[in-house]
Structure 1
Amino acid sequence: MTLREIYDHLDRISPFELQEGWDNSGILLGYPDAEITTAVLSLDIDEELIESSPEGCLFIVHHPLIFGKLTELDLSRYPANLIAQMIRRGQSLIAMHTNFDRTHLNSYVFRRILGLEPEREEPYLCETSVDWSLEELKERLRAAFGLQQFRMVAPRERIVSVALCTGAGASMMDRVRAECYLTGDIKYHDAVKAMSQGLMMVDIGHWESERFFPEVLAEELKTLSISVIISPSKNPFAVS
């Protein structure tokens, strides 16, 4: 299959026009007419993944490698160093970021990972009623995301409703109707605002909540005549 044909398939299952205006999803590197036999799926891309993957392969990642304004290509610095490495190996790159969050990832994590059925669902948010103690919530988050430590705002001893946004979703707290909001990358000022509004928030981690991207996308590529490799990405943070 050509890179363009794979892109068109991805566009049908998760339209790239759904991405946010600040996002940079789509074909980031490669010839549209290039023949692709292998796709490597990962949350992110790094030097080790590039070197260990086949030459001429296509990487499909969640987080765009080229993000924001790229004004120079210093090949000794990120992201130009990785771009040069992929060019040398004849590899291509597609990012599926906020469009895939909207159509697939958030719903998958809510349903398949947390085992919940949404009563209310909108772009980036799933919500439902629950009846959990604080310890029951922690146990579910340990099982789902591997969390051992919990950063919480305004914790409650009893939780009757919960909302989820994978990745970094604190900016959407005003849209949350549930009393407990699960998301990652909660900043200090977000926490102060949530506390003042009586909204319980639990930081479930960015990598921890989005690391399921490759397995979700792999399900959507089974009909294609290419080999698909799932490559778990590394958490950039070490906890000790």
Structure 2
Amino acid sequence: MKIAQIYVILDELAPFCDQESWDNSGLLIGSFDDEFDDLILSLDLDFDLIKNAKPNSLFITHHPLIFKGLKSLDSSKFPSNLIKEMIKKDIKLISMHTNFDKHILNKFVLSQILGYKNFTQIGDFVLKFEVNKSFEEFAKEIKNKLSISNLRVVKAGEFVKTAAFCTGSGADLIGEFEADCFLSGDFKYHTALECYENELSLIDIGHFESERFFGDCLALALQKSEVFATITNSINPFEYR
């Protein structure tokens, strides 16, 4: 199969033109005329994934390996070390980041993993839904469904009537919605303090933990076009103790 063929399918699922201006989704390594033998889906790339991949494979990742402009390639440093190995093994790469968040990933995780199928979308990324549970009950539910061993929370109220949701890192979206609780990842200390004082509870669902379902939901979507892939995942660099 040619990269151009699968690119058309991907573009229909989550148009690359809908990515944020700062994003770098699209074909990052390879050409549209290239063919590939194996298709692999992963949140990110790490050296072991590249080492174990067969030559002439195509990776589709959520996060772009090449994000900011590279002025040099130091093969002893990430990401240049991976790029060197990928070129040696003729491994291609497509990334679907903010375009995939907007169209598929956020809705999939909230409805299929967390089980909240009735929601409204606010802007491009935020999904708002009714909870009507105590904060403690809601936090425990989220912890169990996402299998998070240590859940970071900001408890600004006893009851959660409505919540807002965004996978990955959504702190910059605070202020765009009204809710009792916000679920996202990568919250910083000052954000937590501000939200506590403003009576917005937070549940930090982790960047990796909330987006690790990228391969699962993309694989399901590709199967409708009779395209089948191997689902894997890069390492989570964090350990919880």
TM-score (ref. length: structure 2): 0.95
Letter in 2 for 1:39: L
In the alignment, structure 1 segments of 5+ residues that lack a partner are none
Residue of structure 2 equivalent to 1:16: 16
Rounded to whole Å, the distance in 2 between the matches of 1:67 and 1:147 is 28
**Over aligned residue pairs, what C-alpha RMSD do you find?**
1.4
Residue of structure 2 equivalent to 1:42: 42
Is contact 1:150-1:202 (8 Å) kept?
yes
Residue of structure 1 equivalent to 2:153: 152
Taking the TM superposition and a 5 Å limit, the aligned residue runs for 1:37-186 are 37-122=37-122, 123-186=124-187
TM-superposed deviation, 1:131: 1.4
Rounded to whole Å, the distance in 2 between the matches of 1:152 and 1:44 is 26
Rounded to whole Å, the distance in 2 between the matches of 1:140 and 1:165 is 17
TM-superposed deviation, 1:145: 1.2
Aligned residue pairs, count: 240
Letter in 2 for 1:5: Q
Rounded to whole Å, the distance in 2 between the matches of 1:69 and 1:191 is 32
- The more displaced of 223-232 and 129-138 is 223-232
Is contact 2:29-2:92 (8 Å) kept?
yes
Secondary structure of 1:111's counterpart equals helix
Matched, 1:189 2:190: yes
TM-superposed deviation, 1:119: 3.3
Structure 1, residues 159-198: CA drift from partner, whole Å, max 9, x if none?
A: 1111110000011010121110000000122112212321
Is contact 1:162-1:181 (8 Å) kept?
yes
Secondary structure of 1:234's counterpart equals coil
Rounded to whole Å, the distance in 2 between the matches of 1:226 and 1:112 is 21
Structure 1, residues 99-128: CA drift from partner, whole Å, max 9, x if none?
A: 000000001111011111233213211111
4+ runs of 1 displaced by more than 4 Å? 223-227
Rounded to whole Å, the distance in 2 between the matches of 1:238 and 1:183 is 19
Is contact 1:38-1:226 (8 Å) kept?
no
TM-superposed deviation, 1:223: 4.2
Rounded to whole Å, the distance in 1 between the matches of 2:179 and 2:53 is 43
Is contact 1:38-1:227 (8 Å) kept?
no
In the alignment, structure 2 segments of 5+ residues that lack a partner are none
Is contact 1:43-1:214 (8 Å) kept?
yes
Rounded to whole Å, the distance in 1 between the matches of 2:27 and 2:6 is 10
Rounded to whole Å, the distance in 2 between the matches of 1:146 and 1:176 is 27
TM-superposed deviation, 1:232: 2.5
Taking the TM superposition and a 5 Å limit, the aligned residue runs for 1:224-239 are 224=225, 226-239=227-240
Secondary structure of 1:239's counterpart equals coil
Rounded to whole Å, the distance in 1 between the matches of 2:230 and 2:61 is 12
Letter in 1 for 2:64: P
Is contact 2:156-2:197 (8 Å) kept?
no
Taking the TM superposition and a 5 Å limit, the aligned residue runs for 1:205-224 are 205-224=206-225
